[in-house]
Copies of this chain bind each other. A is one copy, B any other.
Amino acid sequence: MYRNHTCGELRLSDVNKEVILAGWVQKVRKLGGGITFIDLRDRYGITQLAFYKDQNAELYEDANKYGREWVLQVTGKVQERSSKNKNIPTGDVEIVPSNIRVLNSSELPPFTIEDETDGGDDIRMKYRYLDLRRNPVRKNLELRHKIAFETRSYLDKLNFLEVETPVLIGSTPEGARDFVVPSRMNPGEFYALPQSPQTLKQLLMVSGFDRYFQIVKCFRDEDLRADRQPEFTQIDCEMSFVNQEDILQIFEGLTKYLFKQVKGLDIPDFPRMPYADAMKYYGSDKPDTRFGMKLVELKDLTTGREFVVFDNSEYVGAICAKGCASYTRKQLDELTNFVKRPQIGAKGLVYVRYNEDGTLKSSVDKFYTEDDLKKWADRCGAEKGDLILIISGETEKSQKQLCELRLEMGERLGLRDKNVFNCLWVTDFPLLEKDEELGRYFAKHHPFTSPKEEDIPLLDSDPGAVRANAYDLVINGVEIGGGSVRIFNSDLQKKMFSVLGFTEEKAQAQFGFLMNAFKYGAPPHAGIAFGLDRLVSIFAGLDSIRDCIAFPKNNSGRDVMLDAPSVIDESQLEELNLKVEIKEK
């Protein structure tokens, strides 16, 4: 070892010890008067090295030559500092070196390696190996390790087996795009990278593995949004001989265990909310329940006053923003512009101020009396000083717009504290989703999700109304995971494929191996998968999953540090029986 202590562990009790440290120069502070301090940094902390000219002139001169990020091995004696630093655990002591060995020098880094850096996103990603030296970035990855480790401990104790499923599998055309891998040994054929081990974990249940999990990379060749990566990591689980309640209990347990082990927090039992309620009261299937401000329906109170906008709307809904009656014209315009942005797409925003003096003023005073407005306010639970914001239009669209507005108001009112964690199960998702353009149904979760038993008759009469045994875990408005009870009966699975418009041949071609497996005694089973990237980012209070990934890709799917993807040799293409043909656009 190049050291016998780390830079994070020396204390007053170590005074007078001879120690050897190794690390990076965080900072050289030349105090003048023959004193120079160097902060030496490693993963575990920072220790001050003190160079006194009158004690060792040679080392003092050397120290003044070292630059940021040089790598030093330091032998010296621990002594008490005269001026202590209460902000760091080693702040009571310093090392007076008797010998320094320069292990490596460093060019000046392209940005400062500090908690708050001057480096922009692009340069930090290009030099990610330097960015990772920064405490906040490294701490995210330490957190990630801890969460993955504790997840395994919890599941191992409950008899789950981690089983590795293959990364080179077959392509499944349904849904998002697969990444494919040409096979040299099988000319003209391709592997696909798994979007999830869904079918393989179901096969493991058929195999009697009983309790499976895997922390596993998954791949999706989608156009990237801020919070998407082409490769991402799932905590993937499946259990046999269980029903929905068992899954919710065990994985609520896992979530609570992680909050306790990793953050020391006791999280109360998770409320459960049917999908229908989530849409009705929050306009979202992943409501942020850290604050109220629920959606309130006003349609019946607004009709017949000749305000055609409301009269022609399928839905009129409101939220009540506490204490915002005093919002200025400018602030209200901001909110109107916010909901009218194309991403949100509302036609406009109606407001009602419930003034402190008890009067009610709105942007639709032409059509509604103060008595009308008072009725709206009452239904919204508004009090003096509150502001009511109203959106109208098609039901689902308006609910989603109100959801965005609610989140914006929550942000403005400081109701979305990153240190508060609200966990929620959303249940009873619809089994199917209609693609209005194609005029056919798609599986909302996936084709193996079981319908609620009491809704099975609706599969023929009203497929859109069938509810699934499917559930999502939502924390602070972020979907952390989801799963379902699976179909384990061949006949019901066939029925499901027929509702989804699969011919028997197509079903056989795509999922034949699973349907065949089900002929040999499939047990009832159910599962869930958590997005590890999202879970870590929620725990870390991050806005993006990128910051909890060691080497993330940018929005064009590029790793700018590795400069990947890249062109490959013609000879390699030839071996793969491939030719690149880029179409003009």
Chain A residues engaging chain B, CB cutoff 8 angstroms: 1-3, 22-24, 41-44, 69-71, 73, 103-107, 109, 127-130, 132-133, 138, 141-142, 144-145, 148-149, 152, 156, 161-171, 173, 177, 179-193, 200, 203-204, 206-210, 217, 219, 221, 223-224, 230-231, 233, 241-243, 246, 488-489, 513, 517-524, 549-551, 553, 556-559, 561-569, 572, 574-583
Q: Are B517 and A129 neighbours in the complex by a CB distance under 8 Å?
A: yes
**Which B residues are in CB contact (< 8 Å) with A181?**
179-181, 193, 565
Residue of B nearest to A571 (CB): B173
Set B105, B208, B562, B569: member contacting A170, Cβ < 8 A: B562
Asked if residues B182 and A522 are in contact (CB atoms below 8 Å), the reply is no
Chain A to chain B contacts (Cβ below 8 Å), 27 pairs: A2-B242, A3-B241, A41-B208, A42-B208, A73-B241, A103-B488, A106-B520, A109-B520, A129-B517, A130-B206, A132-B204, A145-B156, A145-B161, A149-B156, A166-B231, A168-B219, A170-B563, A171-B572, A177-B575, A179-B181, A183-B565, A186-B556, A189-B567, A191-B564, A513-B562, A577-B580, A578-B580
Residue from the list B73, B168, B242 in contact with A553, Cβ < 8 A:
B168
Q: How far is the CA of A128 from the CA of B516 in the complex (A)?
A: 12
Contacts of A520 in B (CB 8 A): 69, 106-107, 109, 127, 129-130
B107, B165, B190: the one within 8 Å of A566 (CB): B190
Closest residue of chain B to A514 (Cβ to Cβ) is B129
Residues on the B chain within 8 Å of A224, using CB: 185
Q: For the complex, what is the distance from the CA of A583 to the CA of B571, rounded to whole Å?
A: 13
A345 to chain B, nearest CB (A): 26
Query: Does A583 lie within 8 Å of B576, measured CB to CB?
Result: no
* Contact, CB under 8 Å: B550 / A165: yes
- List chain B residues, Cβ under 8 A from A167: 167, 193, 217, 219, 231
Q: Which residues of B contact A582 (CB under 8 A)?
A: 187-188, 577
**Least Cβ–Cβ distance between A219 and chain B, in angstroms:** 7
Asked whether A576 lies within 8 Å of B180 as measured between CB atoms, the reply is yes
Cα distance, A558 to B170, chains bound together (Å): 10
Are A203 and B162 interface neighbours, CB within 8 A?
no
Which single member of B133, B145, B221 contacts A163 (CB below 8 Å)?
B145
Q: How far is the CA of A561 from the CA of B565 in the complex (A)?
A: 31
Q: Which of B44, B106, B130, B207 contacts A132 (CB 8 A)?
A: B207
A401 to B79, CA, bound (A): 63
A204 / chain B contacts, CB cutoff of 8 Å: 129, 132, 550
Decide: B568 and A70 in contact? CB cutoff 8 A.
Answer: no
Contact B164 A217 (CB under 8 A): yes
For the complex, what is the distance from the CA of A387 to the CA of B298, rounded to whole Å?
Answer: 100
Identify which of A109, A208, A223 gathers the most chain B CB atoms within 10 Å of its CB: A208
A521 touches B24 (CB 8 A): yes
> From residue A414, how far is it (CB to closest CB) to chain B in Å?
34
Residues A164 and B549 in contact in the complex (CB < 8 Å), given A70-B521, A170-B563, A566-B171 = yes
Which of chain B's residues has its CB closest to A533's CB?
Answer: B164
User: Which residues of the partner chain B approach A230 to less than 8 Å between Cβ atoms?
Assistant: 168
Interchain CB contact under 8 A, A565 and B186: yes
Q: Which residue of B has the minimal Cβ distance to A562?
A: B170
In the complex the two chains form, is B42's CB within 8 Å of A210's CB?
A: yes
- A164-B549, A166-B551, A208-B132 are contacts. A1–B567 as well, Cβ < 8 Å? no
Report which of B138, B513, B559 forms a contact with A563, defined as CB distance below 8 A.
Answer: B513
Chain B residues whose C-beta falls within 8 Å of the C-beta of A133 in the assembled complex: 207-208
Expressed in whole angstroms, the minimum distance between the Cβ of A158 and any Cβ of chain B is: 13
Q: Could you list 6 further interchain pairs (A-B, Cβ under 8 angstroms) beyond the known A148-B162, A168-B230?
A: A132-B208, A142-B161, A166-B559, A177-B572, A188-B582, A513-B561
Taking CB atoms, residues of chain B closer than 8 Å to A149 are: 152, 156, 162
Q: Given A71-B521, A241-B1: A221 and B184 within 8 A (CB)?
A: yes
A190 neighbours in B (Cβ, 8 Å): 565-568
Given known contacts A208-B24, A489-B104, A173 and B550 CB-to-CB distance under 8 angstroms: no
A519 CA to B231 CA, complexed, in Å: 30
Among B43, B206, B523, point to the contact of A210 (Cβ < 8 A). Answer: B43
A6 to chain B, nearest CB (A): 8
User: In the complex, what distance in Å separates the CA atom of A149 from the CA atom of B152?
Assistant: 8
Closest to A551 in B: B166
Rounded to whole angstroms, the CA-CA distance of A373 and B209 in the bound complex is: 61
When C-beta atoms are compared, the residue in chain B nearest to A106 turns out to be B521
CB distance from A117 to the nearest CB of B (A): 14
B580/A581 in contact, CB under 8 A:
no
The 9 A-B pairs with the shortest beta carbon distances in the complex, nearest first, are A170-B564, A106-B521, A132-B207, A189-B565, A2-B241, A69-B521, A183-B565, A43-B210, A129-B203
Bound complex: CA A187 to CA B145 (Å): 35
Least Cβ–Cβ distance between A118 and chain B, in angstroms: 16
Distance between A568 CB and nearest chain B CB, rounded to angstroms: 5
CA distance A567 to B189 in the complex (A): 4
Complex Cα spacing A569 to B517, Å: 26
CB neighbours (8 Å) of A3 from chain B are: 241
* A175 nearest CB across to chain B (Å): 13
Q: Once the chains are docked, how many angstroms separate the CA of A229 from the CA of B566?
A: 26
| A564–B210 touching, CB < 8 Å | no
The interface centre, meaning the residue of A129, A200, A209 with most chain B CB atoms within 10 A of its CB, is A129
Which residue in chain B gives the minimum CB-CB distance to A185? B557
**A29 CB → nearest B CB, Å:** 18
